[in-house]
Amino acid sequence: MSTRGTGRANGNLPQTKICQFKLVLLGDMAVGKSSLVLRFVKGQFDEFQETTIGAAFLAQSVCLDDTTVKFEIWDTAGQERYHSLAPMYYRGAQAAIVVFDITKPETFERAKAWVKELQRQASPNIVIALAGNKADLADKRLVEYEEAQTYAEDTGLLFMETSAKTAMNVNELFLAIAKKMPKTDTQNPTHAARHRGVNLQDPDAQSTRSCCGN
Partner 1 sequence: MISPGPSAAPPGLSSPTISSSIQSSFHPQTSPSTPAFPLVDVSDDPSPDPTTSFLLPVSSPQLNSKPSPPPPHKPMMSPQVPKPPLPAQLPSALPKSSSSGLPRPPPPPTARPSSPPQARPPPPVVPKPPVPTSPVSKSNKPVPPGISILEKLIKTCPVWLQLGMNLDKAMHILSKEFPGIFLVRRDATQKTMVLAVRLPDQLGEPHVKELPVKEEKSLLYLEGSVLVFENIFKLIAFYCVSRDILPFPLKLPQVIQKVAKYEDMEVISSIGSEFWNSTLNSHEDVENVSGSSGSLDRQRQSSSCEIQLSIGSDRLWYVNPIFIEECSNSVSPAASTPVLRTQSLNTPLQAPPKFKRPPPLRPRPPSTPEAPPHHVLAKPSKGEFKAALSSPPSSVKKREGNDCERADREQEKQGTPAPSADCDKPAVLQAAQGKEGKQIFNTASHRVPPIPIRRKLSEKQASEEPAQQEVNPEPEDSTQQVPVASLICLDDGVEERDKPMDPKTPQVQEVPAEESKVANGAPMVTPEVASQPKRPNAPVPPPRKKRQSHCSNLSSSTPQNTTSTVPLKSSSPSPVRHSLCINATHPKVSDVSLYSPDGGAPLDHDSYSTSSTEEEADANMATGALIKRTPTIMLDRAKQRLSMVSMANLSNVLTGFMNADRKLQKRIVEMSRDGNTYFGNLVKDYRAFTLDTMRKHTSSTEMLQEIRQMITQLKSYLIQSAELQNVQETAAYSEEKLEIIIEAAICKSVLKPLREAVYNGLKDIHSRAGNLKKLKENQQVVQGTTTTDLGVITSVPETPIMEKIQTRLGNLHQEYSPQKKIDLLLKTCKIIYESMSVGCPGRAHGADDFLPVLMYVLARCNITALLLDVEYMMELMDPALQLGEGSYYLTTTYGALEHIKNFDKQAVTRQLSLEIQDSIHRWERRRTLNKARASRTSVQDFINVSFLEACSNTKTLGVRPNTTAKDLCSQCAEKFEVLDPESYCLSVLVEGHYNHLAPEEFPLAIKSTLHHSQPRKEYYFVYRHGRWPEQESVDETESTPTAPESLI
Site residues (CB under 8 A) for partner 1, limited to 88-127:
88-89, 91-92, 121
Half-sphere exposure of 154 (CA within 13 A, CB side): 9
Q: Does 14 bind partner 1 (CB under 8 A)?
A: no
108-116, 149-157, 170-178, 194-202 -> range binding partner 1 (CB under 8 A): 194-202
* Phi then psi dihedrals of residue 70, to 5 deg: -105, 120
DSSP per-residue codes, 106-162: HHHHHHHHHHHHHHHHS-TT-EEEEEEE-GGGGGG--S-HHHHHHHHHHHT-EEEE-
For residues 35 to 54, the per-residue mask of contacts with partner 1, x marking binding by CB under 8 A and - elsewhere, is: x-xx-------------xxx
Amino acid in the structure at residue 187: Q
Q: Minimum distance between the CB of residue 150 and partner 1, rounded to whole angstroms?
A: 29
From 6, 82, 109, 138, residue interacting with partner 1 (rule: CB under 8 A): 82
Q: Does 15 bind partner 1 (CB under 8 A)?
A: no
Return d(Cα 35, Cα 189) in angstroms, integer: 36
Q: Minimum distance between the CB of residue 67 and partner 1, rounded to whole angstroms?
A: 17
Helices (H), the chain: 2-12, 33-42, 86-90, 105-121, 145-155, 170-180, 189-197, 202-213
Q: Minimum distance between the CB of residue 75 and partner 1, rounded to whole angstroms?
A: 4
Q: Report the interface residues with partner 1, using CB under 8 A.
A: 1, 20, 25, 29-30, 33-35, 37-38, 52-57, 59, 72, 74-89, 91-92, 121, 189-190, 193-194, 196-199, 201-202, 204-205, 208-214
